[in-house]
Amino acid sequence: MTIELDQPVPAFNAQATSGIKVDSEQLIGQHYVLYFYPKDNTPGCTTEGQDFRACHEDFAAANTRIFGVSRDSLRTHENFRSKQGFPFELISDADESLCQLFDVIKLKQMYGKEYEGIERSTFLVDAQGVLRAEWRKVKVKGHVSEVLAAARAL
């Protein structure tokens, strides 16, 4: 089962940094962003996280929480989050359950080799738990301001 725009996001639980368990049921009442990225400590992923960090207050003012998601371990996430000073939590999706739910695992190529990896994607969920916007095959530059505009419009 994959999610669709303007449909409720199926319930999920996920482990995040700071020892937090992210439960979609407990997020009802506030908007949230799930941004999926390939790997901690890589250039594009670092820039994207820094852009979300720079706009964190603006998202908070729009009643919107931010969560970064990748398959990295919680330990790697904690180090990445600390090093970059991210004021939001990073979800470890080592078993790919969230990645599968949001259909972000895609066949990719690097140096002529094919592999399955996370396609950079962002999802905006409203306070009722309904998917209101999605961005797939994200290019980092200017992306966060698009997401923020959509969050403010909710």
- Whether 45 is catalytic is yes
| Cβ neighbours of 143 (radius 10 Å) | 18
**Among 45, 20, 37, 12, residue whose Cα is nearest residue 125:** 12
Counting every residue written for the chain, the total comes to 154
Amino acid at site 117: G
Half-sphere exposure for 64 (CA within 13 Å, toward CB): 28
Q: Which of 45, 124, 147, 148 is an active site residue?
A: 45
- Read off the DSSP letter of residue 38: S
Catalogue the active-site residues.
45
